Amino acid sequence: MQFENTTALITGASSGIGAEFARQLARRGADVVLVGRRENALTAVAAEITADTGRKAHAVPFDLDVDRAGVLLKERLDALGLTVDTVVNCAGVGLTKAFVESSEQEIHMQLQVNAEVPLGITRAFLPDLLAAGRGALVNVGSMTGYMPVPGMGVYAAAKAFLIRFTEALAHEVRGSGVMVMVLSPGPTRSGFYARSGTSTDGARFQTPEQVVRTALKALDRRRPPVSVIAGSSNRVVRRLVDFLPVRTVLRLAESRPAA
Ligand SMILES: NC(=O)c1ccc[n+]([C@@H]2O[C@H](COP(=O)([O-])OP(=O)(O)OC[C@H]3O[C@@H](n4cnc5c(N)ncnc54)[C@H](OP(=O)(O)O)[C@@H]3O)[C@@H](O)[C@H]2O)c1
C-alpha cells in the first residue's frame, strides 16, 4: 500500500507498537499524528521521526478514557487542520487481576480504551476515509481476543469484541478502496507487561518492529487479509484454540501469558 504524502493518525503512539507504527509509516513517506497521554514521550517520538525521515510528526496529547473520545479527537484534529488518510487504533490497556478484585473503574477503563474508543474513533474518522476512497484503518487486537484468559478476562473480552467488530466492518466497506484490518500481536516487548502486571514467564516475545512489519506487509498485498496475527507460533496457537476443549485452552492461557 502507498503511504507517500498521506497522513496517518496513530493512537498509543507514545511507546511500544504504536510508536513503531508511526516510525515505519513515516519511513514510507507519511506524515504522522501521534496520540497518547504522555506529552513528553509523544514529543520525543515526534522529534525522532522528523529527524529520521523529514516527515511532519504532530504530537497530540489526549486522554482517550473519556466519553465520546472519538468525536472529541476528531474535533481536536479538525481544529488543528489535520485530515487523515490512515487510522491506527493502537492505544490499549490491560490489567492482570482477578475480576472480583477489580474496581468498577478498572473494569470500565479496560472496556473503554480497548473497545469503545477504537469503535468511536472508527465512527468519527471512517466517513472521511470512505469519501476519499483510499487509506487504511488498522485496529490493534490481541491474541487474547481469541481465547478466554483467566486473570485478564475483561481485557481479552474487549479485544474479542474489537476483532469481531473489525472483521464485520471490513466486509461492510469492501470495494470502497479503504482497507480495514485487525492486527493481533502475541507477547511483544514493550512497557505493556510491566504496566499490566502480567508475568513474563513462558512468554516468547516479538519486537514491535516485527509486529508492525507484519501488519504493513499484509497491507501491501493486493487483497489484504482482514485479520492478521503477528508471529508464526501465535498463528499456530490461534488455530489450536478452535480445536482444543475450553478447559485445555484455559490452562494454556494461564501458563502462556499473551497480552
Ligand atoms: N505488548 C504486548 O504483548 C501486546 C500483545 C497483544 C496486544 N497488544 C496491544 O498492542 C497495543 C499497544 O500496546 P504496547 O504493547 O505498545 O504497550 P504500551 O507501550 O503500553 O502502549 C500502550 C499505548 O496506549 C496508550 N494509552 C493507554 N491508555 C490511554 C489513554 N487513556 N489515552 C490515550 N492513550 C492511552 C499509551 O499512551 P500513554 O501512556 O501516553 O497514554 C501507550 O502509548 C495495545 O492495544 C495492546 O493491547 C500488546
235 lines ligand 1 (CB under 6 A): no
Backbone angles phi, psi at 88, to 5 degrees: -120, 110
- Domain membership of residue 68 (yes or no) is yes
Q: Give the per-residue pLDDT at 200.
A: 85
pLDDT-based confidence at residue 255 (cuts at 50, 70, 90):
confident
Block residue for cell numbers 481536536: 76
E strand segments, the chain: 7-11, 31-36, 57-61, 86-89, 136-140, 179-184, 227-229
231 lines ligand 1 (CB under 6 A): no
Distance of CA 129 to the CA centre of its chain: 18
Q: What is the mean pLDDT of residues 120-142?
A: 98
- Domain membership of residue 188 (yes or no) is yes
CA of 155 to the centre of ligand 1 (A): 12
- Domain membership of residue 66 (yes or no) is yes
Q: Rounded CA gap, 80 and 56, in Å?
A: 13
Block residue for cell numbers 476483532: 163
Number of domains in the chain: 1
Q: What is the mean pLDDT of residues 239-248?
A: 94
Residues 76-95 pLDDT 10s: 999 999 999 999 999 999 99
Q: Rounded CA gap, 53 and 39, in Å?
A: 21
Q: Which residues of 64-95 are buried (b: 16+ CB within 10 A; e: fewer)?
A: bbeeebbebbbeebeeeebebbbbbbbbbbbb
Q: Give the per-residue pLDDT at 257.
A: 62
* Domain CATH code at residue 180: 3.40.50.720
Q: Give the per-residue pLDDT at 224.
A: 95
Q: Give the per-residue pLDDT at 41.
A: 98
15 with 193: CB under 8 angstroms? no
- Domain membership of residue 173 (yes or no) is yes
16 lines ligand 1 (CB under 6 A): yes
Q: Rounded CA gap, 146 and 123, in Å?
A: 24
pLDDT-based confidence at residue 252 (cuts at 50, 70, 90):
confident
- Domain membership of residue 2 (yes or no) is no
Structural domain that includes position 123: 7-255
The residue contributing the CA closest to ligand 1 atom 37 is 36
257 lines ligand 1 (CB under 6 A): no
Q: Give the per-residue pLDDT at 201.
A: 82
Q: What is the mean pLDDT of residues 224-238?
A: 96
User: What is the set of active-site residues?
Assistant: 155, 159
Q: What is the mean pLDDT of residues 101-108?
A: 98
Q: Give the per-residue pLDDT at 258.
A: 64
For the CA of 41, the closest atom of ligand 1 is 40
Asked if the model's pLDDT at residue 9 lies above 70, the reply is yes
Q: What is the mean pLDDT of residues 169-190?
A: 97
- Domain membership of residue 171 (yes or no) is yes
Q: Give the per-residue pLDDT at 96.
A: 95
Query: Which helix H or strand E contains 176, and what residues bound it?
Result: none
CA of 119 to the centre of ligand 1 (A): 16
Residues 32-70 pLDDT 10s: 999 999 999 999 999 999 999 999 999 999 999 999 999
Q: What is the mean pLDDT of residues 106-135?
A: 98
For the CA of 259, the closest atom of ligand 1 is 5
- The crossing angle, in degrees rounded to 10, of helices 153-172 and 104-111 is 20
| Mutate which of 11, 15, 117, 198 for ligand 1 pocket (most atoms within 8 A of beta carbon) | 15
Block residue for cell numbers 485445555: 248
Cell triple for 247: 478447559
